[in-house]
Amino acid sequence: MKFKTIFILFNAVIVFSFLIIFFMPLLMLGIEYTAVFWTKNWFLPILFLGVLALLNTYFFINRKMFTYLEKEEWGELITLLEDRIFNKHKFINQQIRVLVNAYLVQSDIESIQKLEKLLEENAERKISANALQFGIPYLLKNEPLEMEKYFKEQSGKVGGSDGLWMFWNYAFSLLLNSKKDKAREVLITLEQELSKKGKEPTLLLLTLYLLNTFPDEDREIRDIISESGNRLKKRYSSAEWEKILERSRSNIEVVILSKLVNEAADWIREHPAASGEEKTGEDV
């Protein structure tokens, strides 16, 4: 959507909301009650004007950034944001994320690490606030020990959906470093958390796919794969999986791990419960 269109729509929504509140008492209860209402709620017009002023100020300050994004002028966007962040030390989360994504589009991993170092020295908490984005270089570089160190340090500092992805990355790094016992522990805990929440199906799929790398003799893991895999298989059809995976590509990590995600999607379609189904049958 065009920047100017978004700007106009936001203003229209604010003004329309104000008009509804302004005229509703008049239309429903008459002019006398309207006078009483506005005598008691005189601050509402000031509040709406304040919101409108803040909104327009935000768009005005960031108009260049939005324009460069709209036109995909990555070089100009990077120059603009580097000036704000590196030179003026304006550490705003949104602009940090946009700059990291612009670097990724340009395949400039080195600059992401320079940005991380700058924040580490001046605003370390901003790294945790954008930990998933700053973790991308560690996924791309072939340095498992650095990857494990980063995700171990940051995984406990991040909440919500990003926090769950951080724990998966930590488990992945442990597997790359042949620390299977610890990876097993993290993956089982993550699977339980994801199954309980019933969200992030792509992440649950990847978690089961990593668990599937453990030996068939691991009875607990086979049972987890059987139960959770069958649950995913019943809940989502192949067509629904396609939509889920397409939506999940808004997460830059899913794009980076697209090969692994596709392999996991093929696996769940063809072998949803791996060898766990046979063992379940033995239990019966």
Does residue 51 surpass a pLDDT of 70?
yes
pLDDT score at 281: 35
pLDDT score at 48: 86
> What DSSP designation does 85 have?
I
Does residue 120 surpass a pLDDT of 60?
yes
Report the alpha-carbon distance of residue 153 to residue 110 in Å, rounded: 21
Report the alpha-carbon distance of residue 4 to residue 70 in Å, rounded: 10
Integer CA distances (angstroms), 186 to 196, 253, 259, 261, in order: 15, 19, 23, 19
* Model confidence pLDDT, tens digit, residues 86-96: 999 999 999 99
pLDDT score at 271: 64
pLDDT band at 274 (very low <50, low <70, confident <90, very high): very low
Lowest pLDDT segment from 14-18, 76-80, 172-176, 273-277: 273-277
Contacts with 236 (C-beta within 8 Å, 6 or more apart), sequence order: 201, 244
Please answer whether residues 178 and 188 qualify as being in contact, where contact means their C-beta atoms are separated by less than 8 angstroms.
no
Report the alpha-carbon distance of residue 134 to residue 110 in Å, rounded: 11
* Model confidence pLDDT, tens digit, residues 231-241: 998 888 888 98
Integer CA distances (angstroms), 20 to 38, 43, 56, 248, in order: 14, 16, 21, 37
Average pLDDT over the chain, rounded to whole? 88
What is the pTM for the complete model shown?
0.80
pLDDT score at 276: 40
* Residues 57, 58, 64, 69, Cα dihedral to 10°: -150
pLDDT band at 199 (very low <50, low <70, confident <90, very high): confident
Percent of the chain exceeding pLDDT 90 equals 60
H or E element that contains 176? helix 160-176
pLDDT band at 118 (very low <50, low <70, confident <90, very high): very high
pLDDT score at 283: 32
Task: Write out the two tokens for 168.
Answer: 């998966």
